[in-house]
Every structure is written in C-alpha cells, then in structure tokens.
Structure 1
Amino acid sequence: MALSGQAGPGEVEVQIQNLRNANGVVRLCLSRNPAHFPNCDRDPAAVSRTVPARGAGTIRFTGLAAGTWALGVIHDENNNGRLDTFMAIPREGFGFSRNPRLRMGPPRYEDVRFPIAHGRTTLIVRMTYLL
C-alpha cells in the first residue's frame, strides 16, 4: 500500500492479481463499518463496483472521504450476484485489502482496514481460490 500526499478527495486504485480466468465479473466493495464488513449489501454507506473479469486489472474509486476503510473482492465467475459456496467453502475467488492470512471464515475488519487520506492509495489484492 502506498500513500501519496496530493490534495483533494481520496482515491483508491485497486490492482487485482491472480484471477483464475476471465469469466463473469469482479465485485469490489469498500466499507467503513466494521459491523457490516464484508457483507457490503447491508452497509448503505458502502461504495461498490462491478467490472467484467476480463478488464479487472486495475479499478479506481474516487471522491472517497478520508478515514479508515476495508475492501472485499469476489470473482463472481457465473455472474449470479453472490459468492458461491460448497459446504461453506467458497467455490469462487475472493480477496481483501492487505491480503490477510486466511483462517476459518472471513477476516476481521481490523485485519483488512487501511487509511485513506487526500490523494491516492494503491492496493494490490491477490485473489484466493479454495476449490
């Protein structure tokens, strides 16, 4: 993660690495609310993007308020709007800001949070596939 000292609203540039294929879409969600992370659909203040997997190398979020945020990413290979699982194990790819060490279940907000200040923050997210 790199921070620059430019003035103006915050911007996050997300670089996605290790996509398994170009099928479907990549869904990204930025949240400031630990109670709703990583379920951004429950966070009315979350900022999200959906991009075709084929073009998901770099995604930018602009006009973000300064503060602490967390990013969740899923590779929705069949574009059905959710992370598919088999016996509670994700069948599709996922990733998070700060690329936390994986344990049972999603990481804690504290493990993926990062600061956004004025200027650009660059995140590299390495996708993980379990099945």
Structure 2
Amino acid sequence: MLSTFLVILYFGLFYSNGELSVTVPDLKNTEAPIYMAIYKDNEDFLNTKKMFTGAKAEPNGNKSAVLKVELPEGEYALAIFQDINGNGELDTNILGIPKEPYGFSKNYKPVFSAPKFRDCSIEVKQDTKVSIRLLD
C-alpha cells in the first residue's frame, strides 16, 4: 500500500496536469458546435485518428465559446473548426481547403499549405489560457 502511494507521489511530482482554456471569440454562427483536436507531436499533427485528445463546445447563442481540458504539462498544437452543417467533420473542397470556419493555436494562418506542429505549438502549464480566432 505504501509503495503504491510512493509511486503515485513520484509520478505526480514529474507529471503535473494543467488546465487549458481556449476561447473562440467573434463567432458568426452562434449555434454550431466547435470541435478542438489536441496534438502532442509533429508526426501525428492534423491526423484526427492520432490526436492526443479533443474537446467540444456549444456556443448556445453566444458570440464566443470556451473549450476546457485537463492536460499533462507540455507542448501541444491545437486545431479547431466550427461544424456548420452538423456532420461532425471538417468539410473541405476538392483541394483540401476547409469549407467551414477553422483555426490553429497561435492563430496561425496557413498560406499555401497546412501548418506544421512547430508553427502552432504552445506550452501548456497550470491554467493556460489562449484565444483562437476562426478563419473563414
């Protein structure tokens, strides 16, 4: 029993959690849900099947939404989108360009290609707050 407690205490000292709070302001559509994918490394970035975790928020008529999630402290990159048509997926055109509002941490704006992990990575510590504006 004591050994189990010591193991938990040991890992707690090195792997503390932080709360990530992401505000999505100035919503044009105040009803459609917002989805967030959280990635832990470059290899998996933007592969929704390999995201570290995710979150969903409903604006419920508000001009902004807040997504909150508990994460181990560390480096992450975030991708969000607003699901205007309610199918649970980010719809894209034939070239792969999103047809629904989307955004990335650091408010990265892609020009000719999707961003890389390093373009969007943020450090999550205790009570980390970021704001991500949606791109149309």
TM-score normalised by length of structure 2: 0.78
Whole-angstrom CA distance in 2 between matches of 1:39 and 1:17: 25
Identity %: 25
Aligned length: 118
Choose between structure 1 and 2: higher strand proportion.
Answer: 1
1:51 is displaced (CA, Å) by 2.1
Unaligned runs of 5+ in 1: 1-7
Kindly indicate whether the alpha-carbon contact (under 8 Å) linking 1:26 and 1:75 is maintained by their aligned counterparts in 2.
yes
Kindly indicate whether the alpha-carbon contact (under 8 Å) linking 1:23 and 1:78 is maintained by their aligned counterparts in 2.
no
Paired position in structure 1 for 2:49 = 41
Whole-angstrom CA distance in 1 between matches of 2:72 and 2:113: 29
Are residues 1:93 and 2:98 paired? no
Higher relative contact order (CA 8 A, sep 6+): 1
Across the aligned residues of Structure 1 and Structure 2, the Cα RMSD in angstroms comes to 1.7
Unaligned runs of 5+ in 2: 1-15
TM-score normalised by length of structure 1: 0.80
Aligned ranges for residues 58-97 of structure 1 at < 5 Å?
Answer: 58-62=66-70, 64-88=71-95, 89-97=97-105
Choose between structure 1 and 2: higher helix proportion.
Answer: 2
- After the TM superposition, list the runs of 4 or more consecutive aligned residues in structure 1 that deviate by more than 6 angstroms: none
